[in-house]
Amino acid sequence: MRSYVNPFRSRTSEQLAHQGLDRYLRTFGADALDLLPDELWERLLLIRSAPGAGKTSLLRAVSAEALRVLEGRRHAHEDLLERLEGMGVVDSDGRPAVMGFRVPLGRDFRAIVDLETDATAGTRTFLRLLDARIIGAFCDAIECVVDVDEGSVLSVVRVQAEAGGVTALERVGGPAANGLRAWALRAEKEILDRLDAVLPRDEPVDGHAALYSVRALSGSTLLVHDEASGLRPLLLLDDGHELAASQRKLLLDALHDRELQLARWYTERYSAMEPEELVGDGEPRRNHVPVHLEREAQRMGKVTRRGGKTRQFEKLLADIAGRRASRPLQQYDGEDRSFVELLDADDGNELDERAERAVTTIRQRLHDAPEAPGRYASWFADAERLRGLEAAQRWRELEIVIDRDRDRPELGLFAVELTDEERRARSGSSIREGADLFLRREFGLPFYAGSERLSKLSAENIEQYLNLSADLFDEMLVEITLRRGADLSRLRQDAALTAASDQFWQDIPARRVGGRGIQQLLRHIAKLCRTETYRPKAPYAPGVTGTALSMDDRKRLLDSEVRTRIPGAQQLFDALGGAIGHNLLRAHTDRSVKNDRWMILYLNRLTCVRYGLPLGYGGFRERPLEEMCRWMLDEVEDLTEAGVQESLNVA
Amino acid sequence: MTYWESPLLAAESSFEHMWSRPGDDPILFVVGSGFDPRAAAVLERLVATTERRVDGRLVNLPEDATDLAVRPLVAENRARIGELIAQTGGELGEQPLPDFHDAGALGRLISRGFQRSGVLDAYREVVVEISAMPRSVFFPLIRGVLERAHAATAEAQHWGGDLHVAVCENPEADESILEEGTTPMAPIGGFARAHGEASRTTIWVPVLGEGALARAQRLYQELDPDEVCPVLPWPARDPRRGDRIVLEHRALLFDDIRIEPRNVIYAAERNPFDLYRTLGRLHDRYLQSLSPLGSVGMVLSSHSSKLLSVGVLLTAYEHGLEVQHVSPGTYGLHHGGEELREHDEIFDLWLTGEPYR
């Protein structure tokens, strides 16, 4: 039997060293660069998001290695080069204008706080190791983008520092690139050997009092064979949340220096559970450019970037999927349609039987109702003309609208027949979406299917989109293996996404520290959401997907003394921090609703599938802090959609 | 150089034979303050066998890394260990828990604290019992003692005593341990890579076990290895154990890694020296064949039993290899575990001292 490869299971941007940068760049959606603002070079660019939203991918796209590959294969990456040219990353000939060098902050730094003898020694060691990593990455980048006819690249490159950076440059190895490399290697080895020691070592620390590397590179010129190269260094600091709090503050303070003439981007995971911070001189927006990737993703399609229109984020996702799946689909099945076209293909009559059962049942319920039989006659007649899934959707929509209508006190007095215009006025896309959810729950008609809902399920998170697409592509491979073509029915899509949601849930304890506490919190939120979503009149159509804590309550929760006083508060604090940090809850802080300020907490859209909830960020029901704290102490029934899952016959 | 060409491994019956040999010197018994129901099993057997005085050193571990439900077990183990030590006329001292913010630093801090305390120098024979100690703690702790034992005799830090590593092994009980969450990947203290330029080729050798899929996946994602050689337990008391582990890891092995079946390595479930020899040969072979392409880095990780973990430790120590680790965030128990105790087996690895002189 032929062996197939799932293109969505290839690895993430953090693992591209050995899979081929060219292949990675071919699957990179150039539109993703529109997530970055127009201002890129003068001030610190502070990029925040949940894990998997694409922070590292963005940094990789401007790294020296990537720019080198792009320069060599311009014809294969024209769209990407065009965007990069607009940003000023490459020149009009596709040659690198900047030299991005990425420094991951995840390894070795945090432990320094514990392993050095005192805080001063810890700070000095941290700064020296960070200097060594920055200079080491800078040298790697030089080796990537500078060409020499023979011999070592570093032997012909020098850094010409500005007057204020000369002393700092001497501290990190001097102007010769060879010297910089040697210093970086030596310093890193000394520090890591010292940190890794399992026997006590009492020799004094040789550390740094400041971050010399950024001062040395500020306003510097790269000389190749003593001629200015025109390449500007771009420092890319990745995963700042991995640093200890004191280290992070030290670094951010250094990067906020207004005198710095060094392009610098910094990424970290977003956490809504920390006090409002003051970084730099306390006027953050003046000294840095904040970029919240999820918010930028939601704004795509509505804003311009570098003088051009942006496309919606959904288009970016479809583009990424197409880049990955097109070739395998063509190779394995001769399929010319794109991945998303296959998801949106017509199901034929597969759903007719279920739809007919739904129509019969709902029609009967409506006709059996005693009140005002003639009032809805034209609505019913109109619905009778529809067939299949469309008919089922209309009848369920009518049931919600009529349920609401029956509550009107004047109904008995004025039982006049309602027109179709009135139906439209009383209904809308939200009610129709709510109706679809009700149909899934009662009759097993698929809801979580199609490219649009797949995009929504990704929750502005590219990694989540790729994981879900991988599961759907697995199903396509099954169909291809059985020689039934790559089409994937909506039922199979719903079943596959439901299974993915369930797996996502089951994996929480294994993958997240404090996972069972997080699940406890999410179960309570999900229960609240289900109760509100499945009320007969669908008052918050299409449904509720979140809860909210007032900003005052949030402030109380951030106070450790308050947490000791309220039973369950510490558990709530831990669970909220973990859930937000791992993208299981989406937090929108300081939102103004109902004359108060709120932190709204939406369930991850993938979790919504398990609980049969809609996929919007709309409806929420607020709860006081004390009640949420009690959630952490009280067991709650896990109200899932088990019956619906069984009914999704995927045989 | 091979430190353990003719190693000494005592299991069950030979354990009693080994410890009934005559002697007057007191024994230092180093044990973790964990909740594992097997924590006192080795000590019970030792006290029943030897007539020598046994002094204890209880390594305090952070309480918040265990479930609330199992914390009473920690106190029970502590009391039982104290009782047993007292029976021999010995004393139970404590290795205090150091201040720490990053769990990845804890093992090194404990090892440094243990060495700084000077307690090791007062004994000729030491048993480090690892049943109730996480890998991130016992790897650096044992490494510290090995480094001193293998230091030149003339060096001030040289320690010339007998080091035993003992464990109560029980795969069924291992499965009852509930491990929650994954911490970021980090090298185990003392086993970071040889610093300098990064390796051109990375070979990852995970010793696979049950219930560790999430951690193995995380390591794979972060390491991005060129080659993967998973180790499965064979021979094993349950002959299907390896199959079950493959089944549990099938998505990682076959979908993500797309592993070469010939890369699978088998190591005896109950003989860490078998794993030590196998991994040592594997390292030599890769070094020989791949070094013309540039530096080769072999990275080990242990997801299996404590006993096999010692094989990983010894290989990494001898060959200077990196051991990467993703810890669980917290530990608990699926169920009591007491009913599984009938399969307990005691193992004692004699690592330095008399047998090697």
Instruction: List, for residues A496-527, the tens digit of each pLDDT value.
Output: 999 999 999 999 998 888 899 999 999 999 99
Taking 50 as the threshold, does the pLDDT of residue A329 lie above it? yes
Residue A572 near residue A582 (C-beta atoms within 8 A):
no
Residue A46 near residue A289 (C-beta atoms within 8 A):
yes
Whether chain B has a CB inside 8 Å of the CB on A196: the answer is: yes
CB contact under 8 A, B116 and A512: no
Average pLDDT over residues B121-135: 96
CB contact under 8 A, A106 and B184: yes
Exposure string over A28-48, b if 16+ CB within 10 A, otherwise e? bbbbbbbbbeeebbebbbbbb
Average pLDDT over residues A423-448: 93
Backbone angles phi, psi at A485, to 5 degrees: 80, 170
Instruction: List, for residues A334-348, the tens digit of each pLDDT value.
Output: 999 999 999 999 887
Whether chain B has a CB inside 8 Å of the CB on A199: the answer is: yes
* Shortest CA gap A204–chain B (Å): 16
Chain B environment of A510 (Cβ under 8 Å): 179-182, 213-214
Q: B38: left (phi > 0), else alpha (psi -120 to 50), else beta? A: alpha
Taking 90 as the threshold, does the pLDDT of residue A20 lie above it? no
Chain A environment of B221 (Cβ under 8 Å): 11-12, 14-15
CB contact under 8 A, B108 and A115: yes
Average pLDDT over residues A449-468: 93
A186 versus A273: which is more confidently predicted? Answer: A186
Q: How far is CA B69 from CA A145, A304, B133, in A?
A: 57, 55, 18
Whether chain B has a CB inside 8 Å of the CB on A411: the answer is: no
Q: How many residues does chain B have?
A: 357
Residue B255 near residue A473 (C-beta atoms within 8 A):
no
Residue B317 near residue B143 (C-beta atoms within 8 A):
yes
Supply the pLDDT for residue A373: 65
Find the residue in A nearest to B109 (Cα): A115
Supply the pLDDT for residue A647: 64
Whether chain B has a CB inside 8 Å of the CB on A294: the answer is: no
- Helix or strand holding residue B265 (H, E): strand B265-267
Average pLDDT over residues A575-581: 91
CB contact under 8 A, A510 and B214: yes
Chain B environment of A198 (Cβ under 8 Å): 107-108, 111-112, 115, 140-141, 143-144, 147, 189-190
Whether chain B has a CB inside 8 Å of the CB on A512: the answer is: yes
Whether chain B has a CB inside 8 Å of the CB on A106: the answer is: yes
CB contact under 8 A, A510 and B226: no
Q: How far apart are CA B65 and CA B103, in angstroms?
A: 10
Q: Which residue of B101, B157, B224 is in closest CB contact with A15?
A: B224
Q: For chain A, what is the mean pLDDT?
A: 90
Instruction: List, for residues A263-312, the tens digit of each pLDDT value.
Output: 999 999 987 666 555 444 445 556 899 999 999 999 999 999 999 999 99
Q: Which residue of B108, B180, B255 is in closest CB contact with A516?
A: B180
Q: How many residues does chain A have?
A: 651
Say how far residue A318 (Cα) sits from the centre of its chain: 15
CB contact under 8 A, A197 and B190: yes
Q: What percent of chain B has pLDDT over 70?
A: 97
Q: Which residue of A108, A200, A511 is in closest CB contact with B181?
A: A511
Supply the pLDDT for residue B335: 65
Q: Which residue of B108, B197, B255 is in closest CB contact with A9?
A: B255
Taking 50 as the threshold, does the pLDDT of residue A14 lie above it? no
Q: How far apart are CA B333 and CA A595, in angstroms?
A: 48
CB contact under 8 A, A189 and B195: yes
Instruction: List, for residues B293-322, the tens digit of each pLDDT value.
Output: 778 899 999 999 999 999 999 999 999 999
Q: Quote helix, strand, coil % in chain A, to nearest 5.
A: 55, 10, 35
Find the residue in A nearest to B201 (Cα): A18
Q: How far is CA A488 from CA A327, A354, A430, A477, B17, in A?
A: 18, 18, 26, 10, 67
Chain A environment of B102 (Cβ under 8 Å): 110-111, 113-114, 244
What is the pLDDT confidence band of residue B327, given thresholds at 50, 70 and 90? confident
* Shortest CA gap B211–chain A (Å): 9
Q: How far apart are CA B145 and CA B321, in angstroms?
A: 18
Chain B environment of A15 (Cβ under 8 Å): 221-222, 224
Count how many Cα atoms sit within 13 Å of the Cα of residue B313 in the half-sphere of its side chain: 29
Chain B environment of A246 (Cβ under 8 Å): none
Supply the pLDDT for residue B205: 98
Residue A424's identity, in one-letter code, is R
CB contact under 8 A, A110 and B109: no
Angle (nearest 5°) at CA B180 between B177 and B181: 150
User: For an interface test with A, which of B195, B200, B217 has the most A Cβ atoms less than 10 Å from its Cβ?
Assistant: B195
CB contact under 8 A, A511 and B182: yes
Q: How far apart are CA B143 and CA A191, in angstroms?
A: 19
Chain B environment of A200 (Cβ under 8 Å): 112, 115-116
Residue A448 near residue A458 (C-beta atoms within 8 A):
no
* Shortest CA gap A18–chain B (Å): 7
Beta-ladder partners of A233: A99
CB contact under 8 A, B102 and A113: yes
Q: Where are the beta strands (DSSP E) in A273-372?
A: 288-292, 304-305, 308-309
Q: Which residue of B143, B179, B258 is in closest CB contact with A198?
A: B143
Pairing state between β A221-224 and A227-228: antiparallel
Pairing state between β B330-333 and B177-180: antiparallel
Instruction: List, for residues B44-103, the tens digit of each pLDDT value.
Output: 999 999 999 999 999 999 988 888 888 888 999 999 999 999 999 999 999 999 999 899
Average pLDDT over residues A402-413: 73
- Closest of A388, A341, A389 to residue A485, by C-alpha: A341
Q: Which residue of B98, B181, B197 is in closest CB contact with A513?
A: B181
Residue A521 near residue A579 (C-beta atoms within 8 A):
yes
CB contact under 8 A, B221 and A15: yes
Supply the pLDDT for residue A64: 96
Average pLDDT over residues A346-357: 89
Sign of CA dihedral B58, B63, B67, B73: positive
Taking 50 as the threshold, does the pLDDT of residue B225 lie above it? yes
Supply the pLDDT for residue B314: 98
Q: How far apart are CA A60 and CA A72, in angstroms?
A: 17
Q: Which residue of B140, B182, B197 is in closest CB contact with A198?
A: B140
A158 versus A148: which is more confidently predicted? Answer: A158
Residue A572's identity, in one-letter code, is L
CB contact under 8 A, A9 and B190: no
Average pLDDT over residues A544-552: 95
Residue A75's identity, in one-letter code, is H
- Closest of A561, A648, A553 to residue A599, by C-alpha: A553
Q: How far apart are CA A8 and CA B235, in angstroms?
A: 37
Pairing state between β B27-32 and B54-59: parallel
Chain A environment of B99 (Cβ under 8 Å): 114
* C-alpha dihedral, B310 to B311 to B313 to B317, nearest 10°: 140
Taking 50 as the threshold, does the pLDDT of residue B325 lie above it? yes
CB contact under 8 A, A514 and B330: yes
Q: How far apart are CA A416 and CA A408, in angstroms?
A: 13
Q: How many CB atoms lie within 10 A of CB B133?
A: 26
Count how many Cα atoms sit within 13 Å of the Cα of residue B30 in the half-sphere of its side chain: 25
Supply the pLDDT for residue B295: 82
